[in-house]
Chain A
Amino acid sequence: MKALSQKRRHPLAAIALLLLGLLVTGGLYAVATTVNQAKASTTSFSSSDVEEGGKLFAANCATCHGMGASGSKDAPSLVGVGAAAVDFQVGTGRMPMQMNGPQAYQKPAQFNDEQTHQLAAYVASLGAGPAIPEESLLDEKGDAAAGGELFRTNCAMCHNAAAAGGALTRGKFAPALAGVSGKHIYEAMVSGPQNMPVFSDANVSPEGKRDIITFLKQIETNGSPGGADLGALGPVSEGLFVWIAGLGVIIAFTIWLTSRTS
């Protein structure tokens, strides 16, 4: 212990501390995200689920959403939003909301799968709404090309053609879709979270949604055939790259070539 306290002013101490901090945060994040990806296998709710969910709701959500999820001036009523909305919002960590703002950010989920399931059961019991999708719609075995066309027509204007995300007005944004589970993508489409519109089954059929998920998962696993994708953000990142890296390297060479004389 004495050795440690003596070394605390060592020039490398700050770096070591920083590395340690990064390692811990990264490790926790990795654990948290794997927890996130675990999928609920069943969509049937038992009465005990509803009861437990009600308790969780009263303890964690009712402050804003009101007792009985009837809403308040701070948050909307949740009657009729369905299990899909709860599973998405709580499952991706957006709810409970960190703070009021233009949009809830994704963060490590606060509830585990069972609790999320119970909360969903409770909210679903309040009124009919979109349910958590069945596994058959999430098997990623749809038609990727058809999904791509649907995606470009319905989603790309906000989420970008390569699903890299995009800006909306006044601090709102459409997030990048890489790493989002098929279930959450589906639930987002049927429930319209945050600033996203609802894509009902009449608008995009369940098979269409399955195709979209297939497309998104396929481009995600395909990676970038042409090398590092620079964020898949299009000409802005390409322009930045050519000015900073391309010209930077060229300038380094010009300095080298003319350095022998002066």
Chain B
Amino acid sequence: MSAASTAEAPAFVAKTKTGRITDFVDQRVGGSGILREFGRKVFPDHWSFMFGEVALYSFVILLLSGTFLTFFFDPSMAETHYDGSYLPLKNVEMSVAYSSSLNISFDVRGGLFMRQVHHWAALLFVASIGVHMLRVFFTGAFRKPREMNWVVGGVLLILAMAAGFTGYSLPDDLLSGNGLRIIDGVIKAIPVVGTYISFFLFGGEFPGTAIIGRLYMLHILLVPALILLMIVLHLFMVVVHKHTQYPGPGRNDGNVVGYPLGPVYAAKAGGFFFIVFGVLALMAGFFTINPIWNYGPYDPSPVSAGTQPDWYIGFVDGALRLMPGVIGDFHFEYIIFGHVLTLNVLLPALVPAGIIFTVLFMYPWIERWITKDDREHHVLDRPRNAPTRTAIGVAGFTWYCVMWAAAGSDLIATHFHVSLNDVTYWLRTLFFIGPVIAFTVTKRVALALQRKDREIALHGRETGRIVRLPHGEFIEVHAPLDEYKHYKLVGFESPVPLPAVPNDHGIVTRKEKRRAWLSRWFFEDRVAPATPAELEAAHGHHAQPAVEAREESKSLSH
């Protein structure tokens, strides 16, 4: 103990110099307290919980590779003649933006690799967000208290799409220019103000000389900053809410079963970052993405076959492709007070996306209203145990996929040797009946799986061993499940429809009647989990043949 220490001063003095520096910092920022609290945070272990992480890491990789690209990219739309090393474009007139993108690809060391890392990471970023949201939806993780975090996640999805689209347009090649032209068309289809918005956005008639610089600012400044803000909010809420967990013995809404962040998850997550980086680096090294040199400089006259947006905008492009120009004599274009209203652009571009995002954002509240479920849920549902929700999700996903497929209708036609028109007709049909079929099939499959679970819980697993009893009867031997698996099959909630109840004034409102109707629709088809009494009875039933064949009963084991 040193002479300088007094009664109030901490008695601890670190032995090493590093220790003393750490202690100095810790006394001023209180890091050890944070670390102690945060490091003990427990996370449950399941592969499907890692997609959010994939999205986060993709975003970090996007920031790193994107920063590299900004060193060499010039968002100017000034005209120049290409003078780089790619011969098929030598001396071609093009914008400085396209020329600098080509230079990044061919004349900056490692530039093409970084461009491809950036683009693959962008595709993976949005894809992992999508899969993460599907996981959250189908397991019911959006329920109280996580509704607002679900909304933040939805905002992140939209921002990720915005980041992707603004970036897609930057190289100013033919493909991205065609994409911008479609966006321009959609904007111009907005009644009355559309043409004005288009002129403000492009600084005059399309394509103008301003758009690339403006998109660049959005792409590298505003959108990433918003994404970062939303990620902070998102993760903050994850810490506040704690992580959800799959049902299992000893898991309930009051605990989290898993490993602490430090050291187990810190190591796993740190390692996983490098795995994601490695996978992206390998993809970028071996597979080309957005070969801008193929497309040539943007010029409003040529349009290439097979012009598609990146996958996450595909469903909007697909909806546009599915929309008929006229149906018989019925047309979709009107002139009202001198303003053109083109519904065949406006409807497909805005309505499906509008419906998808509205339902997506509203869903936690819709389900909460129907089920009147105001409890906190930290244990997830297995998708089959919420058949109607799962069916709604699959129906929505199917609808999305039909539009998504429509964006590749030309490639479906050429690669499967079918008529493009037939592909379109089928997809138009599926646009309407696909979700209905998907809903019905999914709900029935979920209920069937529940019945199978119930059957297994009651009678055990089929072993495939057929035994002949002394009196001639054949039976199949069923083996009992171990307790952990058994718990999974019986330990779930199975709500029943809630009938309409009168309000404080004793009146059953029309809204309440609607809610009751929806509640019946939501819960009337249900397979209740096996109760202890039923389990008891089932075992008793099986004891019957075992009494008659005492020798066998030991191996039958129930």
Contact = CB atoms under 8 A, between A and B. Distances in A.
A111 B288 CA distance: 39
B486 to A, nearest CB: 15
A104 interface: no
B311 A215 contact: no
A236 B317 CA distance: 12
B517 to A, nearest CB: 38
Interface residues of A, number: 61
B223 interface: no
A164 B411 CA distance: 11
A218 interface: yes
Contact of B286 (A173, A227, A253): A227
Binding site secondary structure of chain B:
helix
B462 interface: no
Nearest to B301: A153
Interface stretch (A13-21, A67-75, A114-122, A143-151): A143-151
B303 interface: yes
A254 B310 contact: no
Interface in B84-102: 87-92
A161 to B, nearest CB: 4
A84 interface: no
A166 B290 contact: no
Nearest to B88: A144
B285 A148 contact: no
B30 to A, nearest CB: 32
A170 interface: yes
A45 interface: no
A230 B116 CA distance: 14
Interface string A224-262: 111111101111111101110111011101110111011
Contacts of B131: 247
Contacts of A23: none
Contacts of B287: 226-228, 230, 241
Contacts of A237: 411
Given A171-B418, A219-B294, A239-B314, A158 B305 contact: yes
Contact of B302 (A147, A157, A167, A173): A157
B47 A255 contact: yes
A152 B304 contact: yes
Interface string B400-411: 000000011111
A119 to B, nearest CB: 28
B14 interface: no
Interface string A134-175: 000000000011011100110011111110111111110110
A127 interface: no
A227 B119 CA distance: 14
B238 interface: no
Contacts of A227: 116, 284-288
A26 interface: no
A224 to B, nearest CB: 5
Interface in B72-120: 87-92, 105-106, 112, 116, 120
B47 A102 contact: no
Contacts of A161: 174-175, 294-296, 302, 304-305
B438 interface: no
Contacts of B291: 162, 224-226, 229, 232
Given A152-B174, A226-B112, A228-B288, A170 B305 contact: no
B543 interface: no
Given A238-B289, A250-B128, A257-B47, A152 B296 contact: yes
A222 interface: yes
A238 B290 contact: yes
B254 to A, nearest CB: 21
B54 A250 contact: yes
A154 to B, nearest CB: 8
Given A226-B112, A242-B120, A250-B276, A169 B421 contact: yes
B535 interface: no
Given A152-B296, A161-B174, A225 B306 contact: no
B421 A153 contact: no
B45 interface: yes
A160 B304 contact: yes
A223 B280 CA distance: 22
A247 B128 contact: yes
Given A245-B283, A258-B45, A236 B306 contact: yes
A258 B46 contact: yes
Contact of B410 (A159, A167, A238, A261): A167
A158 B301 CA distance: 14
A30 B278 CA distance: 39
Among A237, A242, A251, the one with the most B-chain Cβ atoms within 10 Å of its Cβ is: A242
Interface in B150-195: 174-175
B484 to A, nearest CB: 9
B126 to A, nearest CB: 9
Contacts of B407: 236
A238 B123 contact: yes
Contacts of B296: 148-149, 152, 161
A167 B311 contact: no
A49 to B, nearest CB: 37
9 contacts: A144-B87, A144-B88, A153-B302, A157-B303, A225-B106, A225-B288, A228-B287, A242-B283, A258-B46
Given A144-B88, A162-B291, A229-B291, 16 more contacts: A145-B87, A152-B174, A156-B304, A157-B305, A161-B305, A167-B409, A169-B419, A226-B112, A235-B175, A238-B311, A241-B283, A249-B279, A253-B275, A257-B268, A258-B49, A261-B259
Interface of A: 102, 144-145, 147-149, 152-153, 156-162, 164-171, 173-174, 215, 218-219, 222, 224-230, 232-239, 241-243, 245-247, 249-251, 253-255, 257-259, 261-262
